[in-house]
Amino acid sequence: MNIYLSTLVRELKISIRNPSGLINPLLFFIVTISLFPLSISPEAKILSEIAPGIIWVAAMLSVLLSLNTIFHYDFDNGILEQLSISHHSTALVILIKSFSHWILTGLPIVLLSPLMGLFLFLNENSIQVLMLTLLIGTPSLSLIGTIGASLIVGIRSAGMLLALLILPLYIPILIFASSAISQSQAGFEITGQILWLIVILLFSLMLSPFISAAALKINLD
């Protein structure tokens, strides 16, 4: 089997056999969002106003929670060494790893978001925009997160360091995505924000695998 396809299959198999890594971020996403109506107000008007921010912050933090697992496991067992000296492109294999991370973390969040939107009284149109922003934004979270994960690989208990490295890079995505949902609630045009999210995704796609490959190379030396 081709290395890229076998990497994808391997990542999915390992995650399915270790469901806690898959379920924990998703549970975090649901629990965090469900705490807001209890702590702020159960009123529809208030909740629908703050819903875009809440859902996006929860999505961002749950992705952040799962980033540690991208390379940590393969660093410990020596697979990253084998990958680094193989004649295949490390950057492309990293891109596949980011993609599988998105399938296992970002995609479930996208699929669960309509339910969370309804829970926070978002209207139908806003839920569609929410799903669209998550569909474009969460792959960027996985790709940018891969850079952070490759920088901290080999460092024990580096969760806080990872958050410090990655959160500033997530801020533009958070701003454009939650602004798109708020604007759509107010009936304004959202093309600008969506285009910016696409630009960020394209940049992440182009740069993140190469930066991560270089960071891994340094960490394996």
Partner 1 sequence: MPVFEIKDLSCQKGFNLLFKDINFTAKESDIVQVKGANGKGKTSLLRILSGLSEPDSGQISFNDSLSDSDEYQKDILYLGHNPSISVDLTVIENLEYLRSLNNTDLNLQSLHALKKLGLSNFQNEFCLNLSAGQKRRVILSMLILSKSKIWLLDEPFTALDSLGIELIESLIKHHCDNGGVCFFTSHQTSSLNVKELVL
Site for partner 1, rule CB under 8 A = 1-3, 6-7, 10, 13-14, 17-18, 73-74, 76-79, 81-88, 220-221
d(CA 216, CA 74) in angstroms, rounded, equals 11
- Which residue lies nearer to partner 1 by CB, 13 or 43? 13
For the chain, first and last CA: distance in Å?
29
We find the least distance from the C-beta atom of residue 82 to partner 1, in angstroms, to be 5
- Which residue lies nearer to partner 1 by CB, 48 or 89? 89
Eight-state DSSP code of residue 158: -
- Which residue lies nearer to partner 1 by CB, 78 or 192? 78
CB 194 within 8 A of CB 181: no
- Which residue lies nearer to partner 1 by CB, 15 or 193? 15
We find the least distance from the C-beta atom of residue 141 to partner 1, in angstroms, to be 25
Smallest Cα–Cα separation from 113: which of 140, 136, 144, 143? 136
We find the least distance from the C-beta atom of residue 194 to partner 1, in angstroms, to be 38
We find the least distance from the C-beta atom of residue 111 to partner 1, in angstroms, to be 25
Smallest Cα–Cα separation from 219: which of 92, 60, 70, 5? 70
d(CA 208, CA 46) in angstroms, rounded, equals 38
- Which residue lies nearer to partner 1 by CB, 88 or 189? 88
> Which residue do the tokens 């790709």 mark?
143
We find the least distance from the C-beta atom of residue 73 to partner 1, in angstroms, to be 7
